[in-house]
Each structure stands twice: as structure tokens, then as C-alpha cells.
């Protein structure tokens, strides 16, 4: 059935934040507050005779990602920079895994050749914690 489940999973556990484990450059990161990533592929219909497409053309695949980190995590990652700038850290991989609570299949995604596109700090009076959203440059994503 094209890889789709034919029978619904009864009493199953959906992958969620509580089952998420993120490794940045080989180290587990507990100071992560959010992560998002996607890849998009250029595609278009190709027309010939008639009113409907006769083929489809495919182009580049572009990956993008973002990560929100607590300040303690940012400063720990910063230690990997000779200059202190996050943008000067050599490209690294991020491995995102969903570990099932019931011993099922581990879902693994790999963000390859990541780099920080910016470095910043924003803090206001009364803040009880400090978190920053970063945009990442990513070469590609392995959706294994």
C-alpha cells in the first residue's frame, strides 16, 4: 500500500518532544528549546501538445534549518570557535532522533554540514532564562 499503514496503530505513541534526542557535533544537547528543518525541491510541469502537462522537471534541493538554544548551550557550543564567533565554527552535523518509549523503531534525521549564520544575544529585565533562535546553513538533510 505504498508504505502506508493499512491497520491503525492502537494505543501507539506518536514521536513528540519528550522522545527527542539531539546531538550537535557529536554531543547530546539538553539546552535545546526548539528545532525546525526542511528541504524543498524545485519542480515544474512541462507542457507539450494539448492542455495538460506531459512530464515533470526537477531541479535543486535546498535545505534550511533553525534551532532555539538556551544561553548555557550557546556558550558551550561557542567553545568550539577559535575566535569566539559561532559563525567561525567548522561545519558540523546535527542528528535528531526520536526514541520510542515502547521499544519501537528509532526515527533518525541528519542535518549535514551545518553552520550558524548569525550570533546574537537579547536579554531583558525580568527574564528568568535566555534563549536565542538561530538560522543554520545546511548542505542537506538525510531523512532516514
Q: Taking the domains of the chain in order of start, what are their residue ranges? A: 17-142
Tens-digit pLDDT string for the chain (144 aa): 456 656 666 556 788 899 999 999 999 999 999 999 999 999 999 999 999 999 999 999 999 999 999 999 999 999 999 999 999 999 999 999 999 877 778 999 999 999 999 999 999 999 999 999 999 999 999 998
**pLDDT of the residue at 136:** 98
Other beta carbons less than 10 A from residue 80's beta carbon: 14
Helix (H) or strand (E) holding 77: helix 71-78
**pLDDT of the residue at 104:** 77
List the end-to-end C-alpha distance of the chain, in Å, as a whole number.
Answer: 20
Other beta carbons less than 10 A from residue 8's beta carbon: 6
**pLDDT of the residue at 125:** 96
| CB-based burial label for 108 (10 Å; 0-12, 13-18, 19+) | middle
Helix (H, G, I), strand (E, B) or coil at 135: strand
What CATH number should be reported for the domain whose range is 17-142?
2.30.110
Residues in the chain: 144
Helix (H) or strand (E) holding 103: none
E strand spans, the chain: 20-24, 27-28, 32-47, 53-70, 92-98, 107-116, 131-137, 140-142
- Residues 76, 84: Cα–Cα separation, whole Å: 11
Amino acid at each position: 500500500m505504498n508504505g502506508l499503514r493499512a491497520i491503525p496503530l492502537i494505543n501507539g505513541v506518536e514521536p513528540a518532544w519528550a522522545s527527542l534526542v539531539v546531538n550537535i557535533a557529536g554531543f547530546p544537547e539538553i539546552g535545546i528549546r526548539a528545532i525546525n528543518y526542511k528541504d524543498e525541491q524545485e519542480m515544474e510541469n512541462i507542457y507539450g501538445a494539448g492542455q495538460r502537462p506531459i512530464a515533470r522537471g526537477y531541479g535543486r534541493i535546498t535545505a534550511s534549518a533553525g534551532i532555539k538554544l538556551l544561553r548555557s548551550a550557546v556558550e558551550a557550543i561557542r567553545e568550539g570557535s577559535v575566535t569566539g564567533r559561532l559563525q567561525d565554527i567548522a561545519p558540523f552535523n546535527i542528528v535528531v532522533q526520536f526514541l520510542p518509549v515502547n521499544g519501537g523503531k528509532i526515527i533518525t534525521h541528519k542535518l549535514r554540514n551545518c553552520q550558524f549564520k548569525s550570533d546574537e544575544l537579547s536579554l531583558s529585565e525580568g527574564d528568568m532564562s535566555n534563549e536565542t533562535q538561530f538560522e543554520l546553513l545546511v548542505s542537506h538533510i538525510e531523512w532516514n
